[in-house]
């Protein structure tokens, strides 16, 4: 049965009580926000806007990173296309399969698109895409080669090269900024006597190794003598462990630490504040957090919001391409280095010019950024 015919059939029959399919009343975790519902939604009619079901990555909303960027994308789609959406926040891998399935099964409302966020969604989506062939799905950050799934991935190594280049250029010079808090002046600085920077990852996966590889290559591009110390938290939501790792790196000479650790990354920022050193954020512009803006040099922004917004727009406009794989990099604005709101203006223009040059070299292919760390 064609997708549109299936949906019309479900809407008509649900109105006369002949469909007994389970809805979404059992979904937990996360509010729909403006336009969303935390439980089962109202029955749709032909005049209702499109409905989008969101299944977020483990760690949930409020991570000031990956999931929050996805939420920005669906909110933008609501403003642009007058869609409604429902947020679900899995607490475990088992929840992911359940939420995907319940959104696809739902008849009250029917979801025109189910958007799955994060690479962990791939395995359950393989099964659910086959089970519900008329349901359109999007997966962000992984690839599921099914005719009803549109896949979006990012060239994280390219954006990570940029912030690594920035870290390498600044660790080699005497750079400092000051700020006032609680009536006292505080200084944040680099330590040019020790050419050391750090990287803190969440879980040691092939995806996060792309961040590490790009960052290390960027730092070495600035100066071959720079040492890059890398470590993994082993979790996406353990800021205490991330802080412990970052404190150790700062104590051992690092003055700039980049994280790709999801919610754990807050611990890196806390360590930077404590030590008067710098940090680099990930996924969103994390310097927008007033708690840590004074230590965040830049963020490697991964435009998950763009992928979510574009995928929804494609469905609304009848342009959905199942089986497609879109790769977003520096050239098309899928990833980028964004300077910190409080610190960015203090970064010398000569350093920014060098980052512009390395960006163009990556886009042109002159610089081929690795996707695997050298010592992996």
Average pLDDT over residues 65-74: 92
Tokens representing 114 are 């189910």
Identify the weakest region by mean pLDDT among 2-6, 64-68, 75-79, 171-175. Answer: 2-6
**Whether pLDDT at 1 is above 60:** no
44 against 120, higher pLDDT: 120
For residue 184, list its beta bridge partners.
181
What per-residue confidence (pLDDT) applies to 149? Answer: 99
In this predicted structure, what is the pLDDT of residue 359? 98
Neighbour-count burial of 187, counting CB atoms closer than 10 A to its CB (0-12 exposed, 13-18 middle, 19+ buried): exposed
Provide, rounded to the nearest whole percent, the portion of the chain with pLDDT above 90.
81
- Residue 290: the pLDDT is 81
Cβ–Cβ under 8 Å, residues 27 and 91: no
Residue 338 has pLDDT above 80, yes or no: yes
163 versus 375: which is more confidently predicted?
Answer: 163
Q: Does 37 score more than 90 pLDDT?
A: no
Which of 19-23, 60-64, 271-275 ranks highest by mean pLDDT? Answer: 271-275
The tens digit of pLDDT for each residue in 188-208 reads 999 999 999 999 999 999 999
Q: Give the pLDDT confidence score for residue 66 in this predicted structure.
A: 87
Measure the CA–CA gap between 34 and 283, rounded to whole angstroms: 23
Q: Domains, the chain, ranges and CATH? A: 3-154+305-328 (3.40.50.2300), 156-302+343-364 (3.40.50.2300)
Q: Is the pLDDT of residue 24 over 50?
A: no
Question: Span 161-179, mean pLDDT?
Answer: 98
Per-residue tokens: 72: 């920005």
Instruction: Note the pLDDT of residue 289.
Output: 81
Tell me if the pTM is above 0.85: no
Higher pLDDT, 271 or 19: 271
Mean pLDDT of 81-95: 95
Contact 122, 142 (CB under 8 A): yes
Where is pLDDT greater, at 137 or 93? 137
Q: pLDDT band at 48, cuts 50/70/90?
A: low
- Tokens standing for residue 132: 């519900």
Q: What is the 3-state secondary structure (H, E, C) of the chain?
A: CCHHHHHHHHHHHHHCCCCCCCCCCCCCCCCCCCCCCCCCCCCCCCCCCCEEEEECCCCCCCCCCHHHHHHHHHHHHHHHHCCEEEEECCCCHHHHHHHHHHHHHCCCCCCCEEEEECHHHHHHHHHHHHHCCCCCEEEECCCCCCCCEEEEEECHHHHHHHHHHHHHHHHCCCCEEEEEECCEEEEEECCCCCCEEEEEECCCCHHHHHHHHHHHHHHHHHCCCCEEEEEECCCCCCHHHHHHHHHHHHHCCCCEEEEECHHHHHHHHHHHHHHCCEEEEEECCHHHCCCCCCCEEEEEEECHHHHHHHHHHHHHCCCCCCCCEEEECCCCCCEEEEECCCCHHHCCHHHHHHHHHHHHHHHHCCCCCCCCCCCC
Residue 43 pLDDT > 90, yes or no?
A: no
Q: Is pLDDT of 73 > 60? A: yes
**pLDDT, position 315:** 97
Question: What pLDDT does 301 receive?
Answer: 96
Give the residue-averaged pLDDT of 136-155. 98
* pLDDT reported for residue 245: 99
Residue 213 pLDDT more than 80? Answer: yes
Residue 107 makes CB contacts below 8 A (sequence gap 6+) with 10, 11, 14, 19, 21, 23, 43
Across the chain, mean pLDDT equals: 88
Q: Which residues lie across from 229 on neighbouring strands? A: 198
- Give me the mean pLDDT over the 30-39 stretch: 34
**Least confident residue range of 44-48, 196-200, 303-307:** 44-48
């Amino acid at each position: 049965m064609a997708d549109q015919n299936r949906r019309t059939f479900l809407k008509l029959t649900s109105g006369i009580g002949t469909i007994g399919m389970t809805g979404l009343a059992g979904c937990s975790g996360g509010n729909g926000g403006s336009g969303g519902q935390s439980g089962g939604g109202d029955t749709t009619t032909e005049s209702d806007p499109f409905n989008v079901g969101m299944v977020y990555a483990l760690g949930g909303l409020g991570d000031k990173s990956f999931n929050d960027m996805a939420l920005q994308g669906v909110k933008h789609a609501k403003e642009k296309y007058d869609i409604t959406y429902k947020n679900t926040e899995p607490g475990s891998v088992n929840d992911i399969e359940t939420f995907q399935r319940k959104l696809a099964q739902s008849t009250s409302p029917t979801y025109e698109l189910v958007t799955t966020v994060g690479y962990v969604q791939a395995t359950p989506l393989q099964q659910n895409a086959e089970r519900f062939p008329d349901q359109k799905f999007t997966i962000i950050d992984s690839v599921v080669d099914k005719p009803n799934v549109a896949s979006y991935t990012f060239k994280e190594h390219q954006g990570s090269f940029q912030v690594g280049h920035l870290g390498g250029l600044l660790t080699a010079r005497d750079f400092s900024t000051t700020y006032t808090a609680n009536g006292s002046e505080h200084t944040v600085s680099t330590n040019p006597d020790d050419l050391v920077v750090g990287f803190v990852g969440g879980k040691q996966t092939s995806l996060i190794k792309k961040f590490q590889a790009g960052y290390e290559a960027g730092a070495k591009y600035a100066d071959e003598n720079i040492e890059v110390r890398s470590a993994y938290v082993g979790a996406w939501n353990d800021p205490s462990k991330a802080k412990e790792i970052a404190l150790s790196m700062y104590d051992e000479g690092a003055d700039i630490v980049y994280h790709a650790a999801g919610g754990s990354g807050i611990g890196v920022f806390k360590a930077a504040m404590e030590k008067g050193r710098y940090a680099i954020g990930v996924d969103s512009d994390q310097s927008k957090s007033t708690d840590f803006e004074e230590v965040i040099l830049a963020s490697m922004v991964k435009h998950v919001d763009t992928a979510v917004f574009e995928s929804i727009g494609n469905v609304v406009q009848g342009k959905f391409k199942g089986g497609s794989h879109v790769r977003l990099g520096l050239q098309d604005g899928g990833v980028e280095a964004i300077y910190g709101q409080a610190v960015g203006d203090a970064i010398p223009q000569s350093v920014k010019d060098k980052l512009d040059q390395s960006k163009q070299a990556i886009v042109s292919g002159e610089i081929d950024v690795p996707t695997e760390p050298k010592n992996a």
